Structure 1
Amino acid sequence: MVFSLVFEGMKKRFWRWSHHAILAVILSLDFYTESIEMDRLAPLLNHISLAARVFYAGELCQVASFDDSEVAGHLHVVKAGQLTLRIGGADVACVDRPSVLFFPRPCNHTLIPQNELGFELLCASIDLGVKVQSPLAMALPEFLVLPINDGEPMAATLDLLFQEAFGDACGRQAALDRLAEYFLIQMLRHVMAAGLLKGGIFSALADQRLARAVTAMHQRPAHPWTLDELAEQAGMSRARFAVNFREAVGMTPLDYLTDWRMSVAQGLIRQGVPIKNIASAVGYQSQTALTRVFTKRVGRSPTEWMLQA
């Protein structure tokens, strides 16, 4: 009798504990799933081959010029010293503290030391999907100058970058390139969170309601989205959604969707995916339909673009 009572008590406590534990796990999974669903940056990064290659690290005591002949942007991390940034013959910034000079697209620019001591920096070429007209690359401003504060997460990554740059450990170049890519993502997080990106798709991503619709388009380019469905994703009326989206992005939701699909298609073409398979992956019922829209938007047929990519 006593054993039965004790056993029943233990069983009740076990089920109470199990119930709370299971509930906690479910809530955690819900939070985790929601976080992933609202990751505004991930879909943009998933459809491009984000790449960075560090090509210089050290002191620079002379003028350094970079042109736009490469299909790549540039990242300059200034660790110490003073310099002037010149673009198109005009001095646009004076840098006298640890800072990042970020050029998401090819851009003619010159770094000029302000004194004979020069400056210490690290330089990398970067690819944010310019060749496939990625919204990430095209919506960013021509350049950004970002001071680095000691307490920021980016500062710790920069410390690692410079440790690798001036060391001689095995795998140095690979480590530098991967750290530079990670730093790029940190920097994009920073400028998005700080509201430094005001135009284009970043304006929509800064709005919680519009961001839900944009993220849905990014995650599911093959879905036959309608304006009504996108408005429902945003939790807005059809008319209000259309007006707000156009004011934020500068184009209609369906025009943006088409551009996004073309960017995804270009990325798949570069990966060697057959064009007939790409059509369904980006929301078109036939290769002919994709070719027609692609040619109108890009100016060349998919086959012609592939030969020149």
Structure 2
Amino acid sequence: MDVLQDRLARARASGAVFARTVAEPPWGLRLAGSMQLAVHTVVRGRGWLWLDGDPGSALELVPGEVTLVRGGPDHFIGHAPGVDCLEPEVFRARHAHDGSSEDPRATVFLCGAYRFSGDIGAGLLDALPQVLTLSAAVGDPLRDVIALLSHELATPQPGQPTVLDRLLDVLLVLAIRNDFHRSPNAPRWYRAAADPRLNAAMQAMHEDAGHPWSVPELAALSGLSRAAFARTFRDALGQTPIQYLTDWRMALARDHLRSGDLGLTGIARAVGYGSPYAFAAAFRRHHGEPPGTWRQRESLDAQARHGDDSHPH
């Protein structure tokens, strides 16, 4: 398992919301910034997308492209920049019958809302720009995924939520891989994982975070001396191998605490500590509070966020 795949797999949350819409002009839709990641693509016609309060920098949406928008400010899509935009429920009611329209000016577009789970997912999102548009050339797998999504959404079918979830997974992997590959701001771990001197050690830490890794052991996996490995790792990632391992273990621990799937003993074993007491001490050093306090606070925050969730239409 490569490092990007590991992060994506651990970040994945099922139940993505996706909808295909046909809208005759005039039309406009407001989408709340509480969505962690929105995905938009126009299948036919044209549309425009802009962030809250900034219609002057509107981006044209055209067939064959996919636009991702990170959570934060509200964003809007419409038939022209700066048009009046409706809340999703009102929009859906207003354009409920446009799907049977023969109007050649009608726009057919797909909107998706994607929710990552935990800090590992948040780290992936933080590495993306606020708005990211990807062009799908002829022969690009991205174009095929868009076509499949559109086809699947055209009529309800048995098992459709599962199909849409999987297609959206593929869409996101292609989008993230494309952006990280070309962006100078790609996460340091992504660039380091492409370095043959570091890849084996990084994969090993991800695949078995509970193993008591040492720098000599990781260096041996990389085929380097201990000093050369430690220097190369620090130059690439800005931290020592053990600091990176600890950060990864704590990210995994936070997600276990958040999900409640393991008790402290199980978490300690999963992330490489000999006892729940050793884990609790390490967690306190890293976060400034014990794991139980952190979990309780996170649970209250999640309940507050849940009441503010928004979906597309």
TM-score exceeds 0.5: yes
- Structure-2 residue corresponding to 1:40: 3
Q: TM-score, normalised by structure 1?
A: 0.73
Distance 1:119 1:301 in 2: 52
TM-score (norm 2): 0.73
8 Å contact from structure 1 (residues 82, 97) kept in 2? no
How many Å separate the matches in 2 of 1:208 and 1:284? 29
Q: 2:17 aligns with which of 54, 57, 71?
A: 54
Distance 1:153 1:197, change over 3 A: farther
Q: Residue 141 of structure 1: CA displacement?
A: 4.0
Partners of 1:295 and 1:133 lie apart in 2 by 22
Take 2:288 and 2:108, find their aligned partners in 1: how far apart are those partners?
43
Query: Quick check: 40-49 or 186-195, which moved more?
Result: 186-195
Higher mean C-alpha displacement, 135-144 vs 218-227:
135-144
Q: What amino acid sits opposite 1:76 in the alignment?
A: H
Partner Cα separation in structure 2 for residue 139 and residue 295 of structure 1? 27
Measure, in 1, the Cα distance between the counterparts of 2:164 and 2:120: 25
Within the alignment, does 1:280 sit opposite 2:272 as a pair?
no
Verify: 1:200 aligned to 2:165, yes or no: no
Quote the residue 1:99 is aligned against: 65
Instruction: Name the CA distance, whole Å, in 2 between partners of 1:212 and 1:162.
Output: 39
Residues 1:86 and 2:51 are matched in the alignment: yes
> What's 2:41 paired with?
77
Mean Cα displacement is larger for which, 213-222 or 237-246?
237-246
- Is the deviation greater in 197-206 or in 60-69? 60-69
Structure 1 residue 197 displacement after superposition: 6.0
Q: Which piece of structure 1 moves more, 149-158 or 164-173?
A: 164-173
Cα distance change, pair 288–51 in 1 and its aligned pair in 2 (3 A): same
Q: Secondary structure at the match of 2:198?
A: helix
Cα distance in 2 for partners of 1:133, 1:175 equals: 21
SS at match of 1:51: coil
Q: 1:249 to 1:108 in 2, by over 3 A?
A: farther
Identity %: 29
- Report the CA distance between 1:176 and its aligned residue: 2.0
- 1:87 is displaced (CA, Å) by 6.1
Equivalent position to 1:306, from 295, 298, 309:
295
Alpha-carbon distance in 1 for matches of 2:162, 2:214:
44
1:293 pairs with one of 279, 282, 287: 282
Distance in 1 separating the partners of 2:106 and 2:224: 55
Q: Deviations over 1:124-154 (max 9, x none)?
A: 2223334456644444444422112231112
Structure 2 unmatched runs, 5+:
84-104, 300-313
How far apart, in 1, do the equivalents of 2:194 and 2:185 lie? 9
Query: Out of 151, 159, 166, which is 2:154 matched to?
Result: 166
Residues 118 and 254, structure 2, Cα contact 8 Å, conserved in 1: no
Q: CA deviation at 1:258?
A: 1.1
Alignment of 1:203-282 (within 5 A): 203-269=191-257, 270-282=259-271
Q: Is the 8 A contact 1:40 1:205 kept in 2?
A: yes
Deviates more, 1:148-157 or 1:118-127: 118-127
Q: Is the 8 A contact 1:48 1:129 kept in 2?
A: yes
CA contact (8 A) 2:52 2:76 kept: no
More relative contact order, 1 or 2 (CA 8 Å, 6+ apart): 2
